[in-house]
Structure 1
Amino acid sequence: MSPLTLLRLGLAGTRVDTVRVLLTVLSSALAGLSVLAAFNVLAIGPLASGHSDMLAQQYSNALLREPGLRPGVIITLVLLTLPVFALAGQCVRLGAPARDRRLAAIRLAGATPRQAVAVAAAETGVAALIGAVLGLAVYLVGHRLLDRPDALGKLALPTDVFPPVWQTVAGVAAIPFVAALAAALVMRRVFVSPLGVVRRARRERPPAIWAGLVLAAGIGLFAAMGPLGRYTEKLKITWLVDTYGYFVYAGAVLSALGIVLGTGWVSYTTGRLLHRFARRPATLLAARRLMADPWNGSRTLAVLLVCVLFGAGVAWVRSWFATENLVSARYQRMVDPSMEVTVDPFYMRTLDLLDAAVLVGIALTACGMLVALVDSILTRRRAYASLVATGVPRAVLARSILWQAVIPAVPAIAVALAVGAGLMHTIASEARAGGGDRETCLVTEEQCNNTPTTDPTVWSVEYQPEVRLTIPVPWTELALNGGIALAAVVAIVAIGLIFLRSSTELEEIRTT
Structure 2
Amino acid sequence: MKPATLVRLALAGTRTDSARVILTALSAALAVLTGLAAATVLAIPTPPFSDPENFLSNHSEQYASGLLREPGLRPGVAFALLLLTVPVLALAGQCARLGAPARDRRLAALRLAGATPGQVTLVAALETGVASLLGALVALGAYLAGREVFDRPDQRGQLALPTDVLPHPGVLAAVVLGLPLVATVATVLLLRAVVTGPLGVTRRATRSGAPRPWAGLLIGVGLLAFASIRPVLEVYARTGVEAPTWLVPTLLMTGGLLAMTGVVTGAGWFSYTAGRLLRRYSRGPAALLAAGRLTADPWAGSRTLAALLAALVFGGGAAGLRAYFVADDARLREENRLVGVDAGADPFYLASMDLVDLAVQVAVAIAAAGMLVALVEGVVGRRRAYASLAATGVPRATLSRSILWQVLAPAVPAVLLALTVGFFLARGLFGDVTRDNRVYVCDAGTQLCSDPATRERYTRTVGELVRSAPDVPVEQLGWLAAGTLVAVLAVTGLGLLLLRTSTAPEELRTP
Q: Taking structure 1 as the reference length, what is the TM-score of the superposition?
A: 0.93
Q: Is the 8 A contact 2:194 2:201 kept in 1?
A: no
Name the SS for the 1:191 alignment partner: strand
Does residue 485 in structure 1 map to residue 484 in structure 2? yes
Instruction: Provide the residue aligned with 1:27 in structure 2.
Output: 27
- For residues 225-268 of structure 1, the C-alpha deviation after alignment (integer angstroms, 9 at most, x for no partner) is 45435544554544379844443333222211211222222211
Q: Is the 8 A contact 1:88 1:179 kept in 2?
A: no
User: What aligned pairs does 1:352-391 form with structure 2 within 5 A after superposition?
Assistant: 352-391=354-393
Q: Of 416, 419, 424, which aligns to 1:417?
A: 419
Contact persistence 1:331–1:467 (CA under 8 A):
no
Q: Which amino acid aligns with 1:8?
A: R
Structure 1 window deviating more from structure 2 (210-219 vs 319-328): it is 210-219
Q: Cα RMSD over matched residues?
A: 2.5
- Does the aligned pair in 2 maintain the 1:272–1:291 contact within 8 Å? yes
After superposing the two structures, state which structure 1 stretch, 251-260 or 30-39, moved more: 251-260
1:140-196 deviations in whole A, cap 9, x for unaligned?
111110111110000111001111112111111011112222322332222111123
Partner of 1:504: 503
How many angstroms apart in 2 are the aligned matches of 1:347 and 1:89? Answer: 35
Q: Displacement of 1:106 after TM fit?
A: 0.5
Secondary structure of 1:433 counterpart: strand
Contact 1:331–1:466 (8 Å) recurs in 2: no
Task: Find out whether 1:155 has 2:154 as its counterpart.
Answer: no
Contact map agreement 1:319 1:472 (CA 8 A) in 2: yes
Cα distance in structure 1, aligned partners of 2:248 and 2:40: 26
Instruction: Find the counterpart in structure 2 of residue 348 from structure 1.
Output: 350
Residue equivalent to 1:3: 3
Write the letter of the residue equivalent to 1:36: L
Deviation at 1:216?
1.6
Contact 2:309–2:414 (CA<8 Å) still a contact in 1? yes
- Does the 8 Å CA contact 1:271/1:290 hold for their aligned counterparts? yes
Cα deviation digits, residues 349-377 of structure 1 (max 9, x gap): 11111111111111111111111111111
Does residue 131 of structure 2 align to residue 132 of structure 1?
no
CA spacing shift, 1:11–1:249, aligned 2, 3 Å: closer
What is the alpha-carbon distance in structure 1 between the residues aligned to residue 334 and residue 46 of structure 2? Answer: 38
SS of the equivalent of 2:153 reads coil
One-letter amino acid of the structure 1 residue matched with residue 279 of structure 2: H
Instruction: Give aligned pairs, total.
Output: 505
Q: What letter matches 1:491 in structure 2?
A: A
Identity of aligned residues (%): 48
Matches within 5 A, 1:34-433: 34-47=34-47, 54-205=58-209, 207-228=211-232, 230-232=234-236, 234-239=238-243, 243-336=247-340, 339-433=341-435
Asked if structure 1 preserves the Cα contact closer than 8 Å seen for 2:267 and 2:301, the reply is: no
Residue type of the alignment partner of 2:10: G
Contact 1:435 1:467 in 2 (8 A): yes
Cα shift at 1:400: 0.5
Shift of 1:11: 0.7
Judge which range, 114-123 or 290-299, deviates more: 290-299
Cα–Cα, structure 1 residues 80 and 482, in superposed 2: closer, same or farther, change >3 Å? same
Task: State the secondary structure of the residue aligned to 1:296.
Answer: helix
What is the identity, as a one-letter code, of the residue corresponding to 1:504?
Answer: T
Structure 2: runs of 5 or more not aligned: none
CA–CA distance in structure 1, aligned partners of residues 186 and 486 of structure 2: 29
Q: Is the 8 A contact 1:89 1:182 kept in 2?
A: no
Of residues 92-101 and 226-235 in structure 1, the stretch that sits farther from structure 2 once superposed is: 226-235
Q: Aligned partners of 1:4, 1:136: CA distance in 2, in Å? A: 24
Distance of 2:166 and 2:238 partners within structure 1: 45
In the aligned structure 1, how far is the partner of 2:233 from the partner of 2:160? 37
- 1:80 Cα deviation from its structure 2 partner: 0.8
Partners of 1:168 and 1:59 in 2: CA distance: 22
> CA offset at residue 483 of structure 1?
1.1
Letter matched to residue 478 of structure 1? L
Greater mean deviation of Cα atoms: 213-222 or 304-313:
213-222
Deviation at 1:47, TM superposition (A): 3.0
Q: Which amino acid aligns with 2:35?
A: V
- 1:293-315 Cα shifts (integer Å, max 9, x gaps): 11224213122111111111111
Worse-superposed segment, 439-448 or 236-245: 439-448
